[in-house]
């Protein structure tokens, strides 16, 4: 039985971890939600009575899954019976791949396209027949009833339906599926082949869902089907913060316990985590007023009495924004003695961040900058060569050994799935081969091509003779080349250097630049947010302007531990005939800001 020191958890966390039944846990920012989830998983793993049973944890990102997995292993818990990952990975591994034979669209085999491949296909169709559309119009998400267009311009719907029809037909001819079709086909399988849910329900003793407020209807339905068919054999632990439900445009929403209870047939106990270990009292007092309904959050962390600065600037003009950001960064580092790695610059849209990030790099060459949108290749954990790149682009060190050993296991499993046997080669041998790669190329893509070839040769297989590995190879390099070309066109000239490739998997070391959606789950000593304008926070197409604005501001402000600088710059052009105005939620807020 897993036990922990009394100081590890507070009373709210202990009660949630020890609850024997099903839990809906509403956790405020900085409340130790992840720690509580980790201890709950560890406890449930220690209680397993059969080697056939599994504990399943669904996370919003692969990075979150990696972090949770490693922290459980550091507790000394055997994770061989834990499956943890995103809902897309779950559907692929547990539903689509083992049961593809039951689906006409999948039974002859399939490959998952990444986002850059999808963009390339859509851009090709647009160039041929749909000049009235742009790639930004083509977003869609699936539900159990079909699909919904993300585009706000209803005049384009007719063209979009035709374009998507051609797009899906092209995918089908090429035996490909995109991320949305992963969910849709998984839903179809569990709906039409009930034995799938029954089998999975007999294997899983616990299903845990992190960040449930970002989960979508079709995802709830898939998980509820499995839980319902478990006949009480599996417990559910659903955790998140309804006030941070900012992915509504993608179909995400915070389901009510009553609604999920009706879906799954389970009865839930509603619980809360209300102690914030992250921020000062002043920061908490500021962001909790954006919650709806307002929830009381208690400051209990070591920074609770920090004399925070909270400022709001509506006077700085857009053409002086760069200078103001530079001033605030220097003030934070030089006067406040805060590390650059503990600073985050946030804006609503990546289009604004890209240009500002370039300007900051030029104006402050002594600092480095990190950001998801600045990576030279996309995270595609289902691609074999992405799996291998994680090992090749990280340095062997004791702190990374657990992570790299797990990655090695995933590479070996992927090769076995592709029909390649490695004989006696195990995790350590594979790591030794990767560590021994000798390549002095400074171009990132050239480096990886040579490194991949060396590893393949050392393992004794020719990927060009394996259709699956060749497809993955073409997809990895094709999408990376397109991504690098776009970033270079935006001014990131050094993005192709091997050092930028290594930064994808390194610990954050520079100033983070991120969109509001990209910064969820992170925390920093100082947060600087700009673009807080009406029509940007939220996007002007959002049907719930006030509610969504509150949630976005709640997420921004709750990332900060010590200091918070908010900017609604003046003079940002809005089309041809106007400018954006300050967000009404901020403009009308009565607060004694610092100068």
Name the one residue in this structure whose structure tokens are 């592709």: 418
> Would you state the pLDDT for residue 507?
76
Of 445, 442, 441, 439, nearest to 484 by C-alpha is 445
Of 211, 187, 200, nearest to 26 by C-alpha is 211
Helix (H) or strand (E) holding 112: strand 111-112
Note the pLDDT tens digit of each residue in 543-575: 889 999 999 999 999 999 999 999 999 999 987
CA distance 105 to 176: 9
Say what the alpha-carbon torsion angle 359, 535, 143, 178 is, to the nearest 10 degrees. -20
> Would you state the pLDDT for residue 566?
98
Note the pLDDT tens digit of each residue in 173-184: 999 999 999 999
Q: DSSP readout, 296-361? A: --EE-STTTT----EEEE--SBGGGHHHHHHHHHHIIIIIS---GGGEEEEES-HHHHHHHHHHHH
Q: Is the pLDDT of residue 188 over 90?
A: yes
Q: Is the pLDDT of residue 218 over 70?
A: yes
Q: Is the pLDDT of residue 159 over 70?
A: yes
3-state secondary structure of 107: coil
Note the pLDDT tens digit of each residue in 35-65: 999 999 999 999 999 999 999 999 998 889 9
Of 331, 390, 346, 341, nearest to 369 by C-alpha is 341
Q: Is the pLDDT of residue 384 over 80?
A: yes
Quick one: three-class SS letters along 16-40?
HHHCCCEEEEEECCCCCHHHHHHHH
Note the pLDDT tens digit of each residue in 241-270: 999 999 988 899 999 999 999 999 999 999
560 within 8 A of 524, measured Cβ to Cβ: yes
Which pair of structure tokens corresponds to residue 93?
């591994």
> Would you state the pLDDT for residue 7?
93
Which pair of structure tokens corresponds to residue 422?
């490695």
A 10 A CB-CB count for 338 gives 19
Q: Which domains does the chain have, with CATH numbers?
A: 6-96+187-273 (3.40.50.300), 111-174 (no CATH), 281-372+507-587 (3.40.50.300), 384-503 (no CATH)
Name the one residue in this structure whose structure tokens are 């839980």: 227
Eight-state DSSP code of residue 61? S
Of 40, 35, 41, 43, nearest to 3 by C-alpha is 43
Which pair of structure tokens corresponds to residue 456?
């393949």
Q: Is the pLDDT of residue 490 over 80?
A: no
User: In degrees rounded to 5, what are phi and psi of residue 529?
Assistant: -120, 130
CA distance 437 to 453: 10
Which pair of structure tokens corresponds to residue 463?
């990927």
> Would you state the pLDDT for residue 373?
64
Beta-strand relationship, 54-58 and 22-27:
unpaired
Average pLDDT, the chain: 93
The structure's pTM equals 0.89
Q: Is the pLDDT of residue 25 over 80?
A: yes
Helix (H) or strand (E) holding 560: strand 560-567
- How much of the chain exceeds pLDDT 90, in percent? 77
455 within 8 A of 396, measured Cβ to Cβ: no
A 10 A CB-CB count for 454 gives 17
Say what the alpha-carbon torsion angle 99, 104, 110, 116 is, to the nearest 10 degrees. -120
> Would you state the pLDDT for residue 294?
65
> Would you state the pLDDT for residue 375?
78
* Neighbouring C-alpha atoms within 13 Å toward the C-beta of 273: 30
């Amino acid at each position: 039985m897993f036990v922990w020191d009394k100081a590890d958890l507070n009373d709210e966390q202990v009660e949630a971890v020890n609850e024997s039944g099903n839990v809906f846990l509403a956790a405020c920012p900085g409340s130790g939600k992840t720690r509580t989830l980790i201890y709950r998983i560890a406890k449930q793993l220690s209680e397993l009575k059969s080697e056939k049973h599994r504990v399943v944890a669904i996370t919003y990102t692969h990075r979150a899954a990696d972090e949770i997995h490693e922290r459980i292993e550091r507790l000394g818990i055997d994770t061989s019976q834990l499956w943890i990952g995103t809902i897309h990975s779950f559907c692929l591994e547990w539903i689509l791949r083992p049961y593809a034979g039951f689906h006409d669209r999948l039974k002859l085999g399939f490959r998952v396209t990444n986002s850059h491949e999808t963009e390339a296909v859509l851009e090709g169709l647009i160039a041929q027949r749909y000049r009235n559309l742009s790639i930004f119009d083509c977003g869609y998400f699936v539900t159990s009833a079909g699909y919904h267009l993300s585009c706000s311009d209803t005049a384009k719907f007719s063209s979009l339906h035709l374009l998507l029809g051609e797009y899906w037909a092209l995918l089908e001819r090429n035996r490909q599926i995109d991320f949305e079709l992963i969910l849709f086909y998984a839903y179809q399988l569990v709906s039409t082949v009930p034995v799938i849910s029954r089998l999975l329900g007999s294997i899983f003793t616990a299903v845990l869902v992190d960040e449930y407020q970002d989960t979508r209807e079709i995802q709830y339905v898939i998980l509820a089907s499995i839980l319902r068919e478990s006949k009480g054999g599996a417990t559910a632990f659903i955790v998140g913060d309804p006030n941070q439900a900012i992915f509504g445009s993608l179909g995400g929403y915070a389901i009510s316990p009553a609604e999920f209870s009706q879906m799954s047939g389970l009865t839930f106990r509603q619980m809360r985590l209300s102690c914030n270990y992250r921020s000062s009292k002043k920061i908490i007092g500021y962001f909790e007023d954006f919650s709806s309904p307002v929830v009381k959050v208690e400051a209990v962390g070591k920074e609770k009495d920090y004399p925070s600065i909270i400022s709001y600037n509506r006077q700085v003009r857009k053409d002086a924004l760069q200078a103001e950001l530079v001033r605030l960064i220097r003030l934070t580092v030089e006067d406040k003695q805060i590390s650059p790695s503990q600073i985050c610059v946030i804006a609503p849209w990546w289009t604004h961040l890209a240009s500002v990030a370039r300007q900051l790099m030029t104006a402050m060459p002594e600092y480095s900058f990190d950001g998801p949108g600045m990576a030279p290749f996309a995270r595609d954990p289902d691609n074999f060569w992405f799996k291998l790149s994680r090992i090749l682009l990280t340095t062997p060190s004791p702190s990374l050994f657990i992570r790299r050993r797990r990655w090695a296991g995933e590479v070996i499993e992927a090769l076995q799935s592709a029909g390649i046997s490695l004989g006696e080669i195990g995790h350590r041998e594979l790591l030794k081969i990767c560590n021994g790669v000798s390549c002095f190329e400074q171009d990132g893509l050239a480096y990886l091509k040579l490194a991949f070839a060396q590893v393949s040769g050392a393992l004794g297989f020719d990927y060009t003779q394996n259709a699956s590995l060749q497809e993955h190879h073409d997809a990895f390099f094709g999408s990376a080349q397109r991504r690098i070309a776009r970033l270079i066109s935006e001014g990131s000239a050094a993005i192709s250097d091997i050092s930028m490739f290594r930064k994808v998997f390194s610990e954050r070391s520079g100033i983070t630049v991120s969109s509001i959606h990209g910064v969820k789950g992170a925390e920093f000593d100082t947060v600087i947010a700009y673009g807080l304008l009406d029509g940007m926070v939220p996007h002007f197409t959002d049907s719930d302007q006030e509610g969504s604005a509150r949630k976005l501001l709640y997420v921004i402000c709750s990332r900060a531990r010590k200091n918070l600088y908010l900017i609604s710059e003046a003079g940002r052009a809005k089309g041809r005939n106007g400018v954006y105005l300050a967000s009404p939620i901020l403009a009308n807020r009565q607060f004694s800001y610092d100068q």
